[in-house]
Amino acid sequence: MMGVDVNKLGISIGGKSIVRDVNVHIGDGERVGLIGSSGSGKSMISKAMLGLLPINAQTEGSVILGDTQVVGADETVLAGLRGRYVGAVFQNPASSLNPVLTVGKQIELPLKLHYDLDKADRQARVSAMLEKVGLDATVAKKYPSELSGGQQQRVGIATALITSPRLIIADEPTTALDSITQRQIVDLLVSLVDKAGASMLFITHDFSVLARATTRCYVLDGGRIVESGNTADLLEHPQGEQTKKLVAAARELTLQRKQNRDD
């Protein structure tokens, strides 16, 4: 199991403060959301947790994954965590999956980097993982550009989960997808994370997506946490201005989708 404790996290780039005084706790096996509008600093927090901040970023405070302090950690320590104990699913698979690697090699990479398994064993695990994310085993030989957006994101999820990591960081994994595929991808991610007993940080700007994916969430505005609590409660009774705006936007979006479906 791997819990996460983010304490007084501050991130600035080129003297400009992006994130200030952020405290986030994710318990073992818990699915927690981080919601905020564009530019609120959500992705920077996820990058800080993965040790993927730009080299000119300055960080203060602490990010503890399990018993490892990520802030200021050596690059080899971080690389040892990433892909093994922490898996990541990114926003746009078309611009994150390696375009010159076949899907099979892509999913196989974390296994190759962290475990001493023979090729046949790795390939068997890749085939089993493809099945789990609802893709045919023949997809392994294809390149990402041969797949639809939804299929590509399934490959992204398979790559993140192939080593059964203890924590999944999903950074707006449905933003680049249409509404029906969004729902399928969220449900798939939630069921796989729950089955594996892993924890998850789900980042989004869409409350309707967040409600399906998480039980508890933090609302981020201007680089600060402005509200936190049970996701369903926040959706029903938003307190802060930013939360109210996000909830109103989600309601509008849900109505629009319903109308589109009715049409």
Residue 118's CB: how many other CB atoms inside 10 A? 8
Q: Distance (Å, rounded) from C-alpha 115 to C-alpha 118?
A: 9
Q: Does 203 bind another protein (CB under 8 A)?
A: no
Write out the DSSP string of 83-103. TTTEEEE-S-GGGTS-TTS-H
Q: Which of 113, 128, 137, 248 binds another protein (CB under 8 A)?
A: 113
* Interface with another protein, residue 100, by CB under 8 A: yes
CA atoms within 13 Å, Cβ hemisphere of 168? 35
Is 260 a residue that touches another protein (CB under 8 A)? no
User: Does the footprint of another protein cover residue 259 (CB under 8 A)?
Assistant: no
Query: How many other CB atoms are found less than 10 A from the CB of residue 89?
Result: 25
Residues 70-99 that bind another protein (CB under 8 A): 75-76, 78-80, 82-84, 86-88, 90-92, 95-99
Which stretch in 6-14, 142-150, 214-222, 225-233 sits in contact with another protein by CB under 8 A?
142-150
Measured CA to CA, the distance from residue 207 to residue 222 in angstroms comes to 18
Whichever of 160 and 219 has its CB closer to another protein, that residue is: 160
Spatial CB neighbours of 257, under 8 Å, sequence gap ≥ 6:
179
Q: For residues 159 and 150, what is the distance between their CA atoms, to the nearest angstrom?
A: 14
Using CA atoms, how far apart are residues 122 and 109, in angstroms rounded to an integer?
9
Q: Choose between 169 and 246: whose C-beta lies nearer to another protein.
A: 169
- Does residue 110 interact with another protein by CB under 8 A? yes
Pick the binder of another protein from 31, 42, 114, 122 (CB under 8 A). 114
Given candidates 7, 117, 143, 183, which one binds another protein under the rule CB under 8 A?
143
Q: What three-state secondary structure class fits 189?
A: helix
Q: How many chain residues bind another protein (CB under 8 A)?
A: 37
Report the site for another protein in 24-63 (rule: CB under 8 A).
47, 50-52, 54-56
Give me the residues that bind another protein (CB under 8 A), please.
Answer: 47, 50-52, 54-56, 75-76, 78-80, 82-84, 86-88, 90-92, 95-100, 109-110, 113-114, 143, 145-146, 156, 159-160
